A and B are shown apart, each in its own frame.
Chain A
């Protein structure tokens, strides 16, 4: 009936107006406690000196763009995945390839190392996350032992084991995140709240931690409670897709890298954005970010083929690293903080220290 339609339209409009006014009120409340800027408080500490950061290893072997990588807890092994469908496990220290798997799809956008070091997970355009146990027998066909764990309705953008080999957290182009039991493939919890593709997630570093943060194409960064599936905090200040999210080592804050060419720091206790890392000369999107062990440095990989190193507290750039010949797609610091690894569309990975 025409008048029912009208009433419904009015309800949606009033709801929208209410939502907007609440959002504005929330911003007001957040702003009230904004008595000083982080970089102002940081004026009292010494500026950082010159850093010597060089490529210490170059890993060649992928036939196409490197899309993702992850470190093993043994601090030297890594797993990487590529557009050509290959997932490779390397001893980055010796640059030897130890395992290789060919996925049935191209664009393997996500890969992760299990905490035990005995398995890797990966996925991408196949909409799935699969776990491969790593065999000691080099001749064994890894693909034979493959276990399909997660099923999404769009591409898998990111995956991460929790503290255990038995659970995997995934994010997807279908706009959701999900927690899975590896052994049975059962969905343990799903997380709804993003209004567009979710591109990245990171688990909180705490021992008691039960939360994770996600970022996506709706420009939002959401913090989730793993137990209830609730979105407990939300931040929306970026002007374009958030490509990557990473927790600050204390777990009280997290950084984001975005297509708006900025990286930003959000603090959970202040409940707001507390720093922006940007420069006029940086116009290409940031694809990936990670902190050094103390949280003082933020390493960010960009679509302009460079890696910029930021002083997290002062907000200034301390170094720009050239070397890759195409977009940098992934940047991760090693578990003991002695180096970081970058993966690029130039088909290589580099270890920097």
Chain B
């Protein structure tokens, strides 16, 4: 049975913590500030009927403190964060199994660090059985088992029928220890223990905050965790225990990996970088240019289907008539023309008028090549070569000699990137040459002024069935 102090402390401290620990650490920092004598939440003992309610504070106290000390403007946000901290068990309502934060006079109490989630408890059902059993021995009306707990106890009794004697003995031992405590201390500890179980055995309908993301759980494995029993320890179990950190497996890089890293850094050092001011201007102007196309800023015509329950704007989009707004986009940059099927159609028409359409057709054919299954690639490469690049090709394109030589080499062992150099060259050519003329052409200008409508081609409507 492992003591908490046997947990490994990470030598790096915060930096190497697993994701869950990171969050627990942050919540615990907030708790520490809440418990600060000077600037924290005022904790008091409240007199009620014949007894005292020790060590409590109200829901409103918490919310006010959070708004003041955590830079939270909105009350709703403060309530939400507070509810999360309660759901993780850092403080709890003293009279409710449901761990939420309400902004009223409801009383709350802090959880003892022993029960904090950062201790990575994964208490077994045997522990839960000991707890419930113990509760039946404590003869107080206030602590009578709620229906749910009674059901759980019955279920566990059946499940652990053989072990029950042992469980009963543990429960008795625990109850004995508890009896020796001071009445006030017992009240506090009982409530904290109950809150611990509310986190680990939540009431149905409540979020189980101990559920982990399976992708991260492998890094939280500690050999002692699953064997750590809540009740197997001696009398001083409730003393403050250091929260342990997880030392994740740090893979030492191999010599090869280090060589790779060094090479990578050297290559990066040679990179040409832009000044931040230039980059910022570019990001700003892009956002500005596209703001009118962003439905979160400019309502689509005639309406946003999700809001109005009217799909007209989608139908308009699908009918292939390029409206003014859509045509305007093609002038933003060459990529915009190439992205839009109607844009490509119009650009192709324009190139045909200039007798240079083979460039675009080549580019499109290579794009299509890259989308084919690998099995079809060698044949397609041959076809493209014959059509566009071979001596006497019917749609001969003009590429620089370097690209041509490279391509000639590539097609001997044809892969998806056989035409990469040629394609890049042709793209640059179209972008720097034909594209600017296209934008200035009367054909484009007329479309832009919506004088002439784009002739919709015979394409099927974009419904689910006809996409296949």
Contacts and interface: CB of A to CB of B under 8 A. Distances in A.
B19 A259 contact: yes
B308 to A, nearest CB: 10
Interface string B425-467: 0010000000000000000000000000000000000111101
Contact of B297 (A259, A269, A294): A294
Contacts of B427: 208
A25 interface: yes
B454 to A, nearest CB: 19
B230 interface: no
A249 B283 CA distance: 10
Contact of A281 (B17, B71, B275, B468): B71
Nearest to A253: B283
A324 to B, nearest CB: 10
A231 to B, nearest CB: 6
Interface in B63-98: 70-72, 74, 76-78, 80-81, 84
Contacts of B216: 217, 241, 259
A22 to B, nearest CB: 4
A2 interface: no
Interface in A233-249: 233-234, 239-241, 248-249
A326 B207 contact: yes
B338 A207 contact: yes
B194 interface: no
A23 B290 contact: no
Interface string A284-299: 1100000011111100
Given A51-B296, A313-B287, A15 B19 contact: no
B100 to A, nearest CB: 12
Nearest to A163: B371
Interface in B241-288: 251, 253, 255, 257-262, 264-266, 268-269, 271, 273-284, 286-288
Given A93-B306, A164-B371, A336-B317, A292 B339 contact: no
Contacts of B258: 12, 15-16, 18-19
Interface stretch (B1-9, B21-29, B110-118): B21-29
Given A36-B276, A270-B279, A274-B276, A166 B307 contact: no
A285 B371 CA distance: 37
A47 interface: no
A107 interface: yes
B305 A338 contact: yes
Interface string A18-57: 1100110110011001111110011001000001010011
A117 B273 contact: no
Interface residues of A, number: 113
A75 interface: yes
Nearest to B431: A208
B218 to A, nearest CB: 8
B275 A306 contact: no
A235 B71 CA distance: 30
A15 B293 contact: no
Main DSSP-derived SS at the A contact region: loop
Contacts of B463: 74
A109 B215 contact: yes
Contact of A227 (B215, B265, B339, B417): B417
Given A197-B215, A227-B420, A296-B294, A269 B279 contact: yes
A227 B420 CA distance: 10
B268 A233 contact: yes
Contacts of A332: none
Contacts of B295: 292-293, 336-339, 353
Interface string A206-246: 11100000000100000000010001011000011100000
A222 to B, nearest CB: 10
B373 interface: yes
Contacts of B219: 217
B288 A45 contact: yes
Interface string B314-355: 100100000000000000000100110000000000000000
Interface of A: 8, 11-12, 15-16, 18-19, 22-23, 25-26, 29-30, 33-38, 41-42, 45, 51, 53, 56-57, 74-77, 93, 107, 109, 116-118, 125, 134, 136, 155, 157, 162-167, 173, 181-184, 186, 188, 193, 195-197, 199, 206-208, 217, 227, 231, 233-234, 239-241, 248-250, 252-253, 259-261, 267, 269-272, 274, 279-281, 283-285, 292-297, 303-306, 312-313, 320, 322, 325-326, 336-339, 345, 351, 353
Given A249-B286, A325-B207, 10 more contacts: A35-B277, A36-B280, A38-B280, A208-B424, A261-B26, A280-B72, A281-B77, A283-B26, A294-B294, A305-B80
29 contacts: A15-B258, A19-B265, A29-B273, A33-B276, A41-B284, A42-B280, A76-B305, A76-B314, A109-B215, A125-B214, A163-B367, A166-B371, A181-B373, A182-B373, A193-B264, A206-B335, A217-B216, A269-B282, A274-B280, A281-B81, A285-B23, A292-B297, A294-B289, A297-B296, A325-B207, A336-B295, A339-B295, A353-B304, A353-B307
